[in-house]
Amino acid sequence: MNYADGTEAKVGDIVSIDDQCWGTVVACIDRGEYADAYPAAQWSSLGKGILVDTDFGGLVHYTDENSDCMILVKRKR
Protein backbone atom coordinates (compact mmCIF):
# COMPACT_ATOMS: atom_id res chain seq x y z
CA MET A 1 0.00 0.00 0.00
CA ASN A 2 1.11 3.55 -0.65
CA TYR A 3 0.40 6.77 1.22
CA ALA A 4 -1.34 9.66 -0.52
CA ASP A 5 1.99 11.00 -1.85
CA GLY A 6 2.88 7.64 -3.42
CA THR A 7 5.45 6.59 -0.79
CA GLU A 8 5.25 2.88 -0.01
CA ALA A 9 4.16 2.03 3.55
CA LYS A 10 6.62 0.05 5.67
CA VAL A 11 6.50 -1.50 9.14
CA GLY A 12 7.71 1.01 11.72
CA ASP A 13 6.52 4.11 9.86
CA ILE A 14 5.05 6.86 12.01
CA VAL A 15 2.04 8.41 10.28
CA SER A 16 -0.27 11.35 10.75
CA ILE A 17 -3.92 10.47 10.22
CA ASP A 18 -6.32 13.22 9.11
CA ASP A 19 -3.86 15.79 10.51
CA GLN A 20 -5.28 15.01 13.97
CA CYS A 21 -4.06 11.61 15.10
CA TRP A 22 -0.91 9.51 15.04
CA GLY A 23 -0.08 5.91 14.47
CA THR A 24 2.65 3.36 13.85
CA VAL A 25 2.47 0.88 10.99
CA VAL A 26 2.72 -2.61 12.50
CA ALA A 27 1.90 -4.72 9.44
CA CYS A 28 2.09 -4.32 5.67
CA ILE A 29 -0.10 -7.14 4.51
CA ASP A 30 0.56 -6.48 0.80
CA ARG A 31 4.32 -6.81 1.34
CA GLY A 32 4.11 -9.67 3.85
CA GLU A 33 5.86 -7.57 6.53
CA TYR A 34 4.73 -7.91 10.13
CA ALA A 35 6.09 -6.55 13.42
CA ASP A 36 6.93 -9.33 15.88
CA ALA A 37 3.89 -8.61 18.04
CA TYR A 38 1.54 -8.85 15.02
CA PRO A 39 2.31 -12.17 13.27
CA ALA A 40 1.15 -13.03 9.77
CA ALA A 41 -0.76 -16.02 11.12
CA GLN A 42 -3.14 -13.62 12.88
CA TRP A 43 -3.42 -10.82 10.32
CA SER A 44 -2.73 -12.04 6.77
CA SER A 45 -6.37 -13.06 6.35
CA LEU A 46 -7.18 -9.36 5.89
CA GLY A 47 -5.73 -9.81 2.42
CA LYS A 48 -4.38 -6.33 1.69
CA GLY A 49 -3.50 -2.98 3.19
CA ILE A 50 -1.75 -2.10 6.43
CA LEU A 51 -2.42 -2.27 10.17
CA VAL A 52 -1.77 0.89 12.15
CA ASP A 53 -1.56 1.05 15.94
CA THR A 54 -3.31 4.39 16.45
CA ASP A 55 -3.45 6.80 19.36
CA PHE A 56 -7.24 7.05 19.05
CA GLY A 57 -8.46 3.48 18.84
CA GLY A 58 -5.79 0.81 18.85
CA LEU A 59 -5.34 -1.24 15.68
CA VAL A 60 -6.97 0.06 12.52
CA HIS A 61 -6.88 -1.66 9.13
CA TYR A 62 -6.32 0.71 6.20
CA THR A 63 -6.44 -0.12 2.49
CA ASP A 64 -5.71 1.87 -0.66
CA GLU A 65 -9.30 3.12 -0.59
CA ASN A 66 -8.67 5.11 2.61
CA SER A 67 -4.93 5.80 2.37
CA ASP A 68 -5.44 9.43 1.38
CA CYS A 69 -5.90 10.34 5.05
CA MET A 70 -2.32 9.33 5.96
CA ILE A 71 0.97 11.19 5.71
CA LEU A 72 4.34 9.64 6.44
CA VAL A 73 5.94 11.59 9.30
CA LYS A 74 8.99 9.46 10.07
CA ARG A 75 10.46 6.27 8.72
CA LYS A 76 12.12 3.73 11.02
CA ARG A 77 15.81 3.45 10.25
Q: What is the pTM of this model?
A: 0.94
58: which residues sit within 8 A by CB, 6+ positions away? none
- pLDDT confidence tier of residue 4, bands split at 50, 70 and 90: confident
Cβ-contact 29, 46 below 8 angstroms? yes
pLDDT score for 76: 83
Is 70 within the bounds of a domain?
yes
pLDDT score for 29: 97
User: What percent of the chain is predicted at pLDDT more than 90?
Assistant: 86
Instruction: Compute the distance between CA of residue 31 and CA of residue 74 in angstroms, rounded to an integer.
Output: 19
Is 29 within the bounds of a domain?
yes
Is 7 within the bounds of a domain?
no
Q: State pLDDT tens for residues 23-52.
A: 999 999 999 999 999 999 999 999 999 999
Number of domains in the chain: 1
Is 54 within the bounds of a domain?
yes
- Residue of 25, 46, 49 whose CA lies nearest to 37: 25
pLDDT score for 21: 96
Is 67 within the bounds of a domain?
yes
Is 41 within the bounds of a domain?
yes
Is 6 within the bounds of a domain?
no
Give the range of the structural domain holding residue 42, as residue numbers without chain letter: 14-74
Is 38 within the bounds of a domain?
yes
Report the DSSP beta bridge partners of residue 14: 24, 74
